[in-house]
Homo-oligomer: A and B are copies of this chain.
C-alpha cells in the first residue's frame, strides 16, 4: 500500500510553464496516486497558463488573485474561490490581472507523460 504524504508546497521543486507561470507537481504517480494528480500553479501578473487544448480535463480552484479565463470563445472573469471544470477538447487559458495562485488537478497519466515514470 502507498504511504501517506504530508508536505508543504514549498518543499516541491518549481518548474517553468509555457506562458510565464510556474508549476509544482504536488502529488503524482511517484507518490502512489493511481487516478489523479494535484498541481499548484503560480502566475505572475500579466502572465498566462498555456493556451492549448488536450483530450483530458482540468479541475481548477483559484486560491489568490484576479484574472480572466478564455474557454473557446468565452472570456470569463475569475478570482479567489472561483473554480473551473474544463473538459477535454476545450481550448483554454487563464490570464493573470495580478499575481495568481491556482490548484489544477489532472488525470495521473498526464503526470506520467510529462514527468516520466
Interface residues, chain A, with chain B CB atoms under 8 Å away: 1-10, 26-27, 31-36, 38, 40, 57, 59, 61, 63, 69, 71-72, 74, 76, 78-79, 81-90, 92, 103, 105, 107
Rounded to whole angstroms, the CA-CA distance of A37 and B61 in the bound complex is 12
Q: How many chain copies does the complex carry?
A: 2
A64 CB to closest chain B CB (Å) equals: 9
> With A6-B69, A40-B61, A105-B105 known to touch, is A85 a contact of B31 (CB < 8 Å)?
yes
Q: Smallest CB-CB separation from A86: which chain B residue?
A: B4
Rounded to whole angstroms, the CA-CA distance of A76 and B1 in the bound complex is 20
Rounded to whole angstroms, the CA-CA distance of A35 and B32 in the bound complex is 17
Q: Smallest CB-CB separation from A5: which chain B residue?
A: B85
Rounded to whole angstroms, the CA-CA distance of A88 and B9 in the bound complex is 22
